C-alpha cells in the first residue's frame, strides 16, 4: 500500500484546493447573484466538489490494497 504522505505534490494540491473552498475573493464586495444564489456560494460549491473528486482520486490511487478480498 502506498502512502499519500510520500507524495508531497498531491498533499500540497489537496491543501490548496481545500483553501480555495473559502470564498476569500468575495470579501467586501457587493454580492453578485447567479440563478438566485450569491456567486460566492457557487465558488465554494465548485471548489468543494473539486476537493471531493481530488480526495476520491487520491484514495483510489494511493490508498488501495494490493491484495484482493477473499471471497466468502
Question: Per residue in 21-37, pLDDT tens?
Answer: 888 777 777 878 878 88
Asked, for residue 39, whether it belongs to a domain, the answer is yes
Rg (CA), the chain: 18
The boundaries of the domain holding residue 49 are: 4-62
Asked, for residue 72, whether it belongs to a domain, the answer is no
pTM of the model: 0.72
Overall number of domains in the chain: 1
Task: Name residue, grid cell 456567486.
Answer: 39
Q: Which is higher by pLDDT, 65 or 50? A: 50
How many angstroms separate the Cα of 21 from the Cα of each of 25, 51, 61, 67, 72? 11, 8, 23, 35, 43
Amino acid at each position: 500500500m502506498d502512502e499519500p504522505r510520500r507524495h508531497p505534490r498531491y498533499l500540497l494540491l489537496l491543501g490548496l484546493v481545500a483553501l480555495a473552498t473559502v470564498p476569500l475573493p468575495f470579501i467586501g464586495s457587493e454580492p453578485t447573484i447567479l440563478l438566485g444564489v450569491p456567486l460566492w456560494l457557487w465558488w465554494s460549491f465548485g471548489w468543494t466538489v473539486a476537493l471531493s473528486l481530488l480526495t476520491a482520486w487520491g484514495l483510489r490511487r494511493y490508498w488501495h490494497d494490493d491484495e484482493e478480498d477473499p471471497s466468502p
